Amino acid sequence: MIIIMLRLVLLLLAIWLLGKVLRRSAQQLTPAPATTAPLVERIDAILPQTQCGQCGHAGCHPYAEALAKGEDSINRCPPGGEAGIRKLAALLQRDYLPFAPDAPPQKPKAVALIDERTCIGCTLCIQACPVDAILGSAKQMHTVLADECTGCELCLAPCPVDCISMRPVGEGAGDWRWGYPVIAIQPVKSGTRP
């Protein structure tokens, strides 16, 4: 009798322990929700942040929101380039798409430059700049902070005297890189290894 009781107690103990272990492992298996950023933020991290609106949205974050909801296609961001489309496709688990035919063409990176002799100090471009990269005040000459300019071209349209032009960012010494090695691979006949 005592032995049966002991066995029962041991059995209960074992079941309790097993349940505890299982619960712990189950807790470990479920991912902690706080560690992974929301999908919108992960998409936004891939987008180039030019805030140019060429995708038809009012900036990169709205486009990321639309992508996260599945309302827009991934091939509408010209500044992101093909590499951007590939990254988006990998993240959203969609197929790679070539650029949309109605999307604006890709351009090399350029930076806005204000012709300081023509500028009348109307501040319209300052209000248009999405990243606060234009400096100036009313009736004073404006200038572009070239390091902060994303090349979105949003300042071109509002200028009443057309004094802003886009200057392509030239290859300086800092942008230099070793050329991609181009090699011709020839088939080797069996037994003729040099």
Partner 1 sequence: MSDFTLLPNGMKLPSHKQASTTRPIATAALPAQLQLALAGSQCCVEPGQRVLKYQLLARPDNALGLAVHAPTSGHIHAIAPYPQALPGTPLQTALLLHSDGQDEAQPLAPPPDRAGQSRLELAIFLQDMGVTGQHGPLLPLSWAASDAPLELLIINGMESEPYISADDMLMREQASELVAAIQLLQQRLRPTRLVLVIRHDKPAAISALRTAAAGQTWQIEVREAPYPADDAPLLTRLLGGTAETTLCLPVAGVHAAGQAMQHGLPCISRIVTLSGAVEHAQNIRALLGSPARELLALATPHPYSAGIIHGGGLRGFTLADDSVAIHQHSNGLLAAAPRPSSSVAAAQPCVRCGDCATICPSQLQPQELYWHCQTQDLMQAQDWGLTDCSQCGLCSAVCPSQLPLLDSFRNSSLQLQADQQQQQAADSARQRHHFRQFRQERDKQEKAQRLAERAAQQAAKLAQTPSAHPASAAKPEPSAADKQAAIAAAMARASQRQQHHQGQTATAATAEQDARAAAIAANRQAAIDAAMARAAARKAAQDAAKAGADSSPSAAGPTPAPEPAPDKQELIRTSMARAAAQKAAQAAPPAPTTMDDDKKALIAAAMARAAARKAERDDGEQET
Smallest separation (angstroms) from partner 1 to the CB of 53: 12
Phi, psi of 188 (to 5 degrees): -100, 130
Smallest separation (angstroms) from partner 1 to the CB of 177: 4
Q: Which residues pair with 112 in a beta bridge?
A: 166
* Type and span of the H or E element at 21: helix 2-29
What is the tally of helices (H) and strands (E) in the chain?
Answer: 5, 4
User: What x-and-dash track marks residues 101-120 binding partner 1 by CB under 8 A?
Assistant: -----------------x-x
> What's the chain's length in residues?
194
Among 5, 105, 177, 191, binds partner 1 (CB under 8 A): 177
Smallest separation (angstroms) from partner 1 to the CB of 32: 23
φ/ψ bin of 34: left (φ > 0), alpha (ψ from -120 to 50), beta (otherwise): alpha
190 lines the binding site for partner 1 (CB under 8 A): no
163 lines the binding site for partner 1 (CB under 8 A): yes
- Quote the distance between the C-alpha of residue 131 and its chain's center: 16
Among 9, 19, 148, 165, binds partner 1 (CB under 8 A): 148
Residues at the interface with partner 1 (CB under 8 A): 44, 47-51, 59-60, 118, 120, 130-133, 148, 150, 159-163, 170-173, 175-181, 183-186, 188, 193-194
